[in-house]
Chains A and B, each alone.
Chain A
């Protein structure tokens, strides 16, 4: 049995790509294996760790649980799209500055969840962060620097 690839137009980080991939592939697989966007990490493929988090139409999703074919015509955002022409996003800048990334493996997923929080809640309190980040595990940092980085980025963004 040979599976036939399907061709889909995927809108990733504001750019449209014509990608051909096997129909059962998850968004994580298509991003990493078919599009060489390896910034999104692979931690469990079971929907448990959050390292594969990307934004789909602005909402954080576990890309290992989403079929890529269902993403056609929808807006996909990954860590590679966070930085702008003027350099890293304030969120990325604060993560770097505070050492909120140790081994860094959970970082892309954390950043994407944090990004969605900041868009919805410009000044999130700790409780909001604890709730919203509950699906993103980290084995190294102890999370506190991640909270602080998001809070500082929120201030940066409000100050313009």
Chain B
């Protein structure tokens, strides 16, 4: 039995572990890294700053045609007739589709589609389509959809969800507790607002094979879905995603518009492009469901949390998936929830960076503050007393120090300065199934290939770093090909699974290639291949020392080509059950105007084994800014009568801009996590979970009144102050 040392300085533990013969030995807290953990600019950085990087929107062909759909202005209607004849008669219109008899369930639903020679003809043609609607009553809020006699959105009842369990037990605990606090929290619908909109460019070749340049966070899901929709055999479909302009959980497969684009391409035998316009992007390409959370928490005078019960309602439009992660994080004697998922006449909700979490944690952490207030306790002390996570327990004091935590707010004029904090949790989410190819050429070239995508997080660079580390060569020797489904399978980038799942597989592929190389070289230079190693670009332990490039030149074959997979690399002990994080906020609130300015955010985040310090910090920064934007600005507004979105743009749907940025201090926590041979954890999503909660608590601290609804706009602040 050999030992594995896991954890972080100040909290380490040893686990027994025997590495199987055919598996790369795991990294742990004692590993000395040469490439890993340092800041590395991304491999494709130069392509991105020179404009050379090609996004789906940038793929062009001389004979490219353009597709677009006509979208319903009504949220609930029956299409009585569609007259598409004038559009079809327009010269340059090449393909069309009319969805006669369609029942419209949300504004923006596609009613008809056109493909044309130019975008101008396309727009003219769409304007010539005549649709007669029978407008039906709609319900676009949770309240309206639950009211007696509400219009039914789809077959089946509007209200679904999970029945609560264990309420009796929580009620009993409440009864015994010293204090009980009750409050209702609300969060809004947030749209993903990816900067590159959803869609694709597609092209059939003469042999019937299809290539799709998709803006997607799952090349392989897209491939399967396109194949099914277009009735093409999956092996004849290639999806390519070299670069994509953001997804955040909304780009997981082929959509209705992708399908239309492919059908148009096939019918016309021409390459076709369809990327949504900004308005459609807001209406139909995904959103974070809203929530109403009725919370009842209890505690004892000594600061022990007792019971927590949450009843929630939310809507993912015509889809399902509303719900909140609340209660969570803290140790309660008894806790549970009942969550209702209410259908409304609105575009379908989709996974959005840490689904259910930011909204749940906003309410949870507000309640924790309210309990602390009722107990007359410091809210941070209450959290620490009831938090058992080994990593988060170490993070609270770090954040406290970095923000300069204060029990009393500052400021004696109209502007008050307040402090708040919130915790975060996420799963480690390493999933088996990935495969990675490693090819070492006689010329000294090294290539790692995987068919999944880099949605901007830095996956390409992550693969290169992991590969270089395990191979024992400088990063500059390594190349990566990503985003072509002709390469081995890789997961969808959702749930922050990408890095933890692919890391041990890259390591395995590199290790297998290295072993094969050393066996060849041992025969040439003499030595025991088992005792030979590759370190910093040198082959050591043989009869003589040679460089990696020299070793490659000695290969008796043109190249070594191996594929690492996920078998056996996941059976490693793990340090902690969840990914932990905390954030602290300092805000300034103008009590006369109600305006909130975030001054500083401290983000302390469990990053597992850090691969690239630069992209780790970037994920933390990005998580904070999206959380801040959610806390203060973003809000999808639907007209309650027509169901149409009234702010489907980037002017009235405000996202945080350069002027809204606070100072952000990122404190990554490197934890030798284990769990896989690489020990890499999930990061992109947990980094955004606590931001809104921390900001809201800081606002309440500053003004000594609670705002229980997001976004925290000036009117809500003034109302909380009793000034409205």
Contact = CB atoms under 8 A, between A and B. Distances in A.
Interface stretch (B154-162, B432-440, B655-663): B655-663
A48 B46 contact: no
A134 interface: yes
Nearest to A51: B195
Given A51-B195, A139-B193, A141-B625, A103 B658 contact: no
A2 interface: yes
Interface in B604-655: 614-615, 617-618, 621-622, 624-626, 649-651, 655
Nearest to A131: B659
B246 A140 contact: yes
A12 B514 CA distance: 49
Contact of B51 (A78, A96, A103, A140): A78
B245 A101 contact: no
Contacts of A146: 658
Contacts of B91: 2
Nearest to B660: A143
A41 B622 contact: no
A38 B58 contact: yes
Contacts of A130: 658-659, 661
Contacts of A46: 278, 649-651
Interface in A97-142: 97-99, 101-108, 111, 129-131, 133-134, 136-142
Nearest to B45: A96
B487 interface: no
Interface in A2-42: 2-3, 22, 24, 29, 32-33, 36-42
Contact of A95 (B49, B60, B193, B457): B49
B51 A142 contact: no
Contact of A104 (B53, B649, B661): B53
A142 B601 CA distance: 12
A58 interface: no
Interface string B115-139: 0001110000000000000000000
B614 A83 contact: no
A44 interface: yes
Given A39-B50, A44-B649, A105 B658 contact: no
B57 interface: yes
A41 B626 CA distance: 22
A85 interface: no
A136 B195 CA distance: 11
Nearest to A136: B658
Contact of B196 (A83, A95, A105, A137): A105
B649 A48 contact: yes
B456 A140 contact: yes
A104 B50 contact: no
Which of B41, B49, B246, B455 has the most chain A CB atoms closer than 10 A to its own CB?
B49
B625 A143 contact: yes
A105 B618 contact: no
* Chain B, interface SS category: loop
A53 interface: no
B664 A139 contact: no
B277 interface: yes
Nearest to A1: B124
Nearest to B92: A2
B230 interface: no
Interface in A66-100: 78-80, 82-83, 88, 92-93, 95-99
B607 to A, nearest CB: 15
Which of B53, B120, B196, B658 has the most chain A CB atoms closer than 10 A to its own CB?
B658
A49 B650 contact: yes
A129 B118 CA distance: 39
A48 B248 CA distance: 20
B511 to A, nearest CB: 28
B278 to A, nearest CB: 4
B592 to A, nearest CB: 23
A144 B243 CA distance: 22
Contact of A48 (B49, B455, B651): B651
Contact of B622 (A32, A108, A140): A140
Contact of B456 (A37, A88, A92, A104): A104
A55 B319 CA distance: 44
B618 A22 contact: no
Contacts of B44: 104
Interface in B34-81: 41-42, 44-46, 48-55, 57-58, 60
Contacts of B194: 139
B54 A48 contact: no
B41 A96 contact: yes
B142 interface: no
B478 interface: no
Contacts of B621: 141-142, 144-145
B52 A39 contact: yes
Contacts of A82: 50
Which of B45, B57, B278, B659 has the most chain A CB atoms closer than 10 A to its own CB?
B45
A155 B650 CA distance: 33
Contacts of B193: 139
A44 B622 contact: no
B692 interface: no
A104 B655 CA distance: 17
Contact of A102 (B46, B60, B618, B658): B618
B29 interface: no
B244 interface: yes
Which of A41, A82, A99 has the most chain B CB atoms closer than 10 A to its own CB?
A99
A22 B124 CA distance: 15
A28 B604 CA distance: 41
A138 B246 CA distance: 10
B54 A104 contact: no
A104 B659 contact: no
Contacts of B41: 96-99
Interface of A: 2-3, 22, 24, 29, 32-33, 36-46, 48-49, 51, 78-80, 82-83, 88, 92-93, 95-99, 101-108, 111, 129-131, 133-134, 136-147
Interface of B: 41-42, 44-46, 48-55, 57-58, 60, 91, 118-120, 193-196, 243-246, 248, 277-278, 455-458, 614-615, 617-618, 621-622, 624-626, 649-651, 655, 657-659, 661, 664
6 contacts: A38-B58, A103-B243, A103-B246, A104-B243, A104-B245, A140-B618
Q: Which 6 A-B pairs have the closest CB atoms?
A: A39-B51, A103-B456, A105-B245, A96-B45, A104-B48, A142-B625
Given A104-B44, A134-B658, 17 more contacts: A41-B57, A43-B278, A48-B651, A88-B46, A95-B49, A99-B617, A103-B195, A104-B243, A104-B456, A105-B195, A108-B51, A130-B658, A130-B661, A136-B658, A140-B195, A140-B622, A142-B661
